[in-house]
């Protein structure tokens, strides 16, 4: 894929322009966005991401193979970003962030996420370019992360974890919010507000999620440009999506398991690729294992899309069934209470 420095400059400039526009048009003045506003902008950014994938397919020298890699990467990063939102929700609930300031927190968190992922993209590209064995490490890391995602998701509260307790011990913290300000002066002493703690917590979580997301997408494409644009489009509109599906997030009870399946699948794909380009002397004498299958991108795209769909449908069915059961139990309880009162 031939990407000139000019294309990189234009892409990064346009990405920055979108986030600057977002800040001045929607975030600078604190307010809670309506469902209609969130739906319009979410649809706009998702549509823009899909159009960009089609453009990749039609550009000479790029083509539909790279477009397929982009769509698979975008879908994976979008799913991981929704998991990001779930953790953001836990953090903001833990810190009791007022709703009208949540947009600013999300915006800062998303920008930090993009910067973190940009750094990891550059590091990943350099490693892949110089060390083919890095695919073994990426594959093993994703398999470990898949296990953790499936069995350890939601076990801790990021707002009260070890990292945040360390921050509180070393920073003078005010007990109350002072608008959306990060610091406040009291009796001549400067304190940080809970708003700054929220941003620090989200920044730390972004670092953790970058470790998940970058190896995952490098399992679908070796093109740094596709990795960056898929991540950028996955993060664009994430703020609006938070307010649009905020209530739905708690109903996605199988999201962690679905993401675990996706990460495990990509981990296996990476190990297969590492064996196919093997250069390690203690594996097959340093020769590639050409009989190992390479999983095609069209299969990866279908597998990831199907996994996201199954996890979403199963989650909604589970929560709907639980709600109906609770409603029946409540009605039966009221009937028993009424009968007891009658006796």
Spatial distance between the Cα atoms of 14 and 20, rounded to a whole number of angstroms = 10
pLDDT at site 153: 53
* Percent of the chain residues past pLDDT 70, beyond the cut: 92
- CA–CA gap between residue 191 and residue 92 (Å, rounded): 20
In contact, 70 and 300? CB cutoff 8 Å: no
CB atoms within 10 A of CB 44: 13
Structure tokens at 165: 């307790």
Across 271-294, average pLDDT: 83
- Per-residue pLDDT, 275: 87
105 contact partners, CB below 8 Å, separation of at least 6: 88, 92, 97, 195, 198, 199, 202
Give the list of residues 6+ apart from residue 84 with CB closer than 8 angstroms, or none. 113, 205, 206, 209, 238
Q: For residues 174 and 309, which has the higher predicted lDDT (pLDDT)? A: 309
Of the ranges 56-65, 153-162, 199-208, 239-248, the best mean pLDDT one: 56-65
Residue 342 has pLDDT above 70, yes or no: no
Total Cβ atoms within 10 A of residue 131: 12
pLDDT of 9 reads 94
Evaluate if residue 52 carries a pLDDT over 90: yes
How confident is the model at residue 182, as a pLDDT? Answer: 80
**In b/e form, how buried is each residue of 193-215, taking b as 16+ CB within 10 angstroms?**
bbbbbbbbbbbbbbeebbebbbb
Reported for 124-131, long-range contacts at CB under 8 A and 24+ positions apart, including other chains, are: 124/214, 124/215, 124/218, 124/224, 124/227, 125/224, 125/227, 128/218, 128/222
**H/E element holding 130?**
helix 99-130
* Predicted model pTM: 0.78
């Amino acid at each position: 894929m031939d990407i000139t420095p000019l294309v990189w400059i234009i892409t990064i400039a346009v990405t920055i322009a979108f986030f600057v526009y977002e800040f001045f048009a929607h975030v600078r003045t604190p307010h809670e966005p309506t469902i209609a506003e969130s739906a319009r902008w979410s649809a706009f950014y998702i549509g823009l991401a899909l159009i960009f994938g089609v453009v990749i397919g039609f550009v000479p020298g790029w083509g539909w193979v790279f477009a397929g890699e982009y769509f698979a990467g975008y879908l994976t990063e979008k799913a991981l970003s929704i998991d990001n939102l779930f953790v953001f929700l836990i953090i903001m609930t833990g810190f009791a962030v007022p709703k009208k300031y949540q947009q600013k927190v999300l915006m800062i968190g998303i920008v930090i996420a993009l910067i973190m992922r940009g750094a990891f993209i550059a590091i990943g590209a350099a490693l892949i370019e110089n060390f083919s064995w890095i695919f073994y490490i990426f594959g093993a890391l994703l398999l470990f992360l898949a296990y953790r995602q499936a069995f350890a998701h939601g076990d801790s509260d990021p707002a009260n974890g070890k990292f945040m307790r360390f921050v509180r011990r070393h920073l003078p913290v005010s007990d109350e919010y002072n608008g959306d300000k990060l610091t406040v002066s009291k009796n001549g002493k400067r304190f940080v507000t809970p708003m700054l703690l929220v941003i620090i917590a989200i920044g730390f979580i972004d670092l953790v999620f970058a470790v998940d997301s970058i190896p995952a997408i490098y399992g679908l494409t070796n093109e740094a440009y596709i990795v960056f644009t898929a991540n950028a489009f996955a993060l664009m509109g994430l703020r609006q999506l938070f307010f649009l599906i905020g209530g739905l997030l708690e109903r996605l009870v199988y999201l962690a398991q679905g993401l675990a399946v996706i990460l495990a699948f990509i981990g296996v794909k990476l190990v297969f690729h590492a064996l196919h380009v093997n250069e390690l002397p203690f594996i097959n004498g340093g020769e590639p294992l050409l009989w190992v299958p390479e999983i095609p991108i069209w299969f990866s795209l279908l597998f990831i899309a199907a996994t996201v769909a199954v996890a979403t449908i199963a989650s909604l069915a589970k929560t709907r069934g639980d709600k109906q059961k609770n409603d029946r139990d409540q009605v039966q309880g009221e009937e028993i209470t009424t009968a007891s009162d009658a006796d």
